[in-house]
Structure 1
Amino acid sequence: GDVLLHMLPIFHVHGLFVAIHGALLSGSRMIWRARFDAREAIRLLPQATVFMGVPTMYVRLLDEPGFDASACRNMRLFVSGSAPLLPDTFRQFEARTGQRILERYGMSETVMLTSNSYDGNRVPGTVGLPLPGVEVRVVDDAGRACGTGDIGAIQVRGPNVFSGYWRMPEKTREEFTADGYFRTGDMGKWDANGYLSIVGRSKDLIITGGYNVYPKEIESYLDEMDGVAESAVIGVPHRDFGEAVTAVVVRKPGAQLHEAAIIAALKGRIAAFKVPKRVHVVDELPRNTMGKVQKNVLRERYGA
């Protein structure tokens, strides 16, 4: 049977419900560690067949020179969740190990919602197709279904969705639509093959000069630039525009990045109102224990 290498926190739905409960339900053995350490993971991976992690863990593994296909020789499946996996990380991981990471999507209120296929195509930058029995729709501000490639709010319905928040009836009513769909708070879009991509949280939407700006779109351009390891785009208060698009960019080791050059590179590739007014170059982004970038911390840091 399978052996799960478990290095996730167990106070979160990913580490407890998906990883531990999944192993128990399938009768699998588990190698459990209280926290993630890349070198410890490399040492233990040959004893495992399944690994569930967050994107940061995969980046840390790739940062280790000793991580290669031999460490993954017995692995059947690498799974990523809790935060978006960069397509570049997906491709680097496959090139280094021969393994294609399976990315999927869920949340505490719903457990699992969508997944890339185990046997079929795994599309970088997407969280796959709705799972059997789960209804997923992407809608505009008026509640109409969005067309292919159009960004909207993700809403879900199914037996996996929770019934409501404990002793919070008003919040429960706010988060469910009249026809029983749960408002996830995530923004996304469908591709031509029905694969779902997450473009960010609705609360992270930037409104600058009356225009809507989705941070994920700008981050995807930044992440493609030479010398950029990763990025985060936020909105900060601005007297004229309401919010100003601001980018925080992590440099790769040894790279030289300059604000003016980054802004110049974006001009002509994206609409003028989407081009960041400021770019801050840093060594790392603040993250929570699940590896999600803490944009609230960045807004406090650069919005003063």
Structure 2
Amino acid sequence: MNSNLFSAFEAAIHKQHGRSLRAAAILPADSTDMRAWSWADVLGASGRIANLLASLKLPAGSRVAVQVDKSVENLMLYLAVLRAGYVYLPLNTAYQAAEMDYFIGDAQPAVLVCASSTLATLAPIAQRHGVAHVFTLDAAPNLTAPQSLLAAASRHADTFATLDRDASDLACILYTSGTTGRSKGAMLTHGNMLSNAQTLHRFWGFSEKDVLLHALPIFHVHGLFVACHAALLAGARMIWCNKFDAGEAVKLLPHATVFMGVPTMYVRLLAQPELTRKQCKGMRLFISGSAPLLAETHRQFAQATGQMILERYGMSETIMLTSNPYHPKGAGQAADRRAGTVGPALPGVQLRIMGDGGKPCAAGEIGGIEVKGPNVFAGYWKMPEKTAAEFTADGFFKTGDVGKLSGDGYVTIVGRSKDLIITGGYNVYPKEIEGWLDDQPGVDESAVIGVPHPDFGEAVCAVVIPKAGAQLDGDALITKLKGEIAAFKVPKRIWVLAELPRNTMGKVQKNVLRETYAATFK
């Protein structure tokens, strides 16, 4: 049996649309600059790119690194990499040259696909690290662009026999920020992703009648694996938005049945006067993830639309782990979907809360969240010691999140280990930003914290200590960092202090800093 993830999508497409492959599959949110895609288009476009990749004669297991703006063609590239049996490596479009240099050097991809606008910057980096092939792909496809992927693919046939892959074969590497040092690559197999897609397909009730309003980026788990996989495995249509616009999204809701978003998106949807029960009457499911959803946002959304947001919990290393229920029980949705929780563990996932000394926590007790299941990743790329350290002797992955279980199995995440900051759905680890700050001229020491923000959930902020005789300007440091690291990692405020608060052991008291600056954005 072929365990290639794409073979499952292909089977679903033929099962649901075999006699009507010209039926709509991906519909543009804005018809002025996008075209509609049929299921035949999806198979053909991914087939042409897969044939191009196969023609390059890449070694088995080669990585294809991709840093391009969201587009349907970008999705076709992902599907083509799966079909051709290679390993997909999506990279955030906000990453700057220094960050890209690290990712390319660490992953050693055989192919890099970037935007035309970044070709001049990234091509020398790729050459320095021995990348054999560099292509460009833009949100507005241009066959005349330098080194155009689509132009090269257009010379190939649109039929392609999807390569056989075992469930244990690597399909994707997702770089996730580490608590110390630079990012680490989480290795996900075809089996990891297929098992999770099948579970969500059943648990969330997807069918070929659904229409997914897709407004998420597709360089991470939420937008690419959860949203796209759910639609493709059901043979369901997607309304495709290259970027999220709250006003446009509200206008599109009557044409959709499912919406997935991060809490920031729901806050912005609520600011639209057009968000009403009438506008949402055809929607069956709103899903939120990637960051904690405030209970107040949950309540306000239910009041405005008559629908309760379904919260779930996942991460790069595991895809989805838990979910509030989709089907309401006798007591109704209010009893089933509990604001402030991420629901029980999904079918097939084992989840436990462990306290100090490796002892299981009783219901209501706070401890570290550990999980086990077919969705849990194969390990960190080229980091066997780190991989071993993150798994228990009995095979559970230590997520690094802190939470508690209710008596009936609902998970509440109460904190994050190692001071992880989640801002607008993106994970930011302070240690990485502190490394950048500490390297700036005149900076002796820094501390990065997350403080409450009404739009992003948390805002990245920093305190810096100047070296003797140095004069530091917080705004100038922010401007400097904007050219060096991704925008979502750049502190929104930097304060200059004479010293950092410390405990008797000399450890920086970040809790004191968070309390001091908690009202900054209120």
The 8 Å contact of residues 267 and 455 in structure 2, kept in 1 or not, is answered as no
Gaps of 5+ in 1: 206-214, 249-275, 284-304
Counterpart position of 2:267: 59
1:245 matches 2:511: yes
The 8 Å contact of residues 187 and 199 in structure 1, kept in 2 or not, is answered as yes
The 8 Å contact of residues 312 and 324 in structure 2, kept in 1 or not, is answered as yes
2:315 is aligned, of 103, 107, 119, to: 107
The 8 Å contact of residues 501 and 512 in structure 2, kept in 1 or not, is answered as no
The 8 Å contact of residues 104 and 116 in structure 1, kept in 2 or not, is answered as yes
The 8 Å contact of residues 78 and 101 in structure 1, kept in 2 or not, is answered as yes
2:415 is aligned, of 183, 200, 207, to: 200
Using the size of structure 1 for normalisation, the TM-score is 0.72
Task: Give the Cα separation in 2 of the matches to 1:201 and 1:27.
Answer: 36
Counterpart position of 1:132: 347
Show the 5 A alignment for 1:102-251. Answer: 102-120=310-328, 121-204=336-419, 237-240=500-503, 242=507, 243-246=509-512
Counterpart position of 1:272: none
Using the size of structure 2 for normalisation, the TM-score is 0.43
Show the 5 A alignment for 1:3-14. Answer: 3-14=211-222
**Residue aligned with 2:401, SS:** strand
Q: CA RMSD in A?
A: 2.7
Counterpart position of 2:253: 45
Deviation >2 Å, runs of 4+: 227-237, 239-242, 244-248, 276-281
Q: 1:110 to 1:229 in 2, by over 3 A?
A: closer
Gaps of 5+ in 2: 1-208, 329-335, 421-448, 464-499
Identity, % of aligned pairs?
59
Give the drift of 1:164.
1.0
Structure showing greater radius of gyration is: 2
The 8 Å contact of residues 215 and 261 in structure 2, kept in 1 or not, is answered as yes
Counterpart position of 1:260: none
2:293 is aligned, of 80, 85, 91, to: 85
Counterpart code for 1:182:
F
Give the drift of 1:111.
1.1
Give the drift of 1:230.
6.0
Give the drift of 1:116.
0.5
Counterpart position of 1:73: 281
The 8 Å contact of residues 105 and 112 in structure 1, kept in 2 or not, is answered as yes
Task: Give the Cα separation in 2 of the matches to 1:235 and 1:9.
Answer: 27
Give the drift of 1:281.
2.5
Task: Give the Cα separation in 2 of the matches to 1:135 and 1:164.
Answer: 18
Task: Give the Cα separation in 2 of the matches to 1:105 and 1:20.
Answer: 17
- Equivalenced residues, count: 240
**Residue aligned with 1:238, SS:** coil
Q: 1:167 to 1:200 in 2, by over 3 A?
A: same
Give the drift of 1:232.
7.1
Give the drift of 1:233.
11
Counterpart code for 2:348:
G
Stretch moving more, 143-152 or 86-95: 143-152
Counterpart position of 1:95: 303
Give the drift of 1:200.
2.1
Give the drift of 1:24.
0.3
The 8 Å contact of residues 233 and 245 in structure 1, kept in 2 or not, is answered as no
Counterpart code for 1:75:
M
Task: Give the Cα separation in 1 of the matches to 2:404 and 2:280.
Answer: 33
Structure with a larger share of its residues in helix: 2
* Deviations, residues 61-89 of structure 1 (Å, cap 9, x unaligned): 01112211122121010001111111111
* Deviations, residues 174-221 of structure 1 (Å, cap 9, x unaligned): 11111100011111111232200111211128xxxxxxxxx99xx9xx
Counterpart position of 2:521: 282
Counterpart position of 2:10: none
Structure of higher RCO (CA pairs closer than 8 Å, 6+ residues apart): 2
Task: Give the Cα separation in 1 of the matches to 2:286 and 2:321.
Answer: 18
The 8 Å contact of residues 189 and 196 in structure 1, kept in 2 or not, is answered as yes
Counterpart code for 1:47:
H
The 8 Å contact of residues 246 and 279 in structure 1, kept in 2 or not, is answered as no
The 8 Å contact of residues 247 and 280 in structure 1, kept in 2 or not, is answered as no
Task: Give the Cα separation in 1 of the matches to 2:412 and 2:369.
Answer: 10
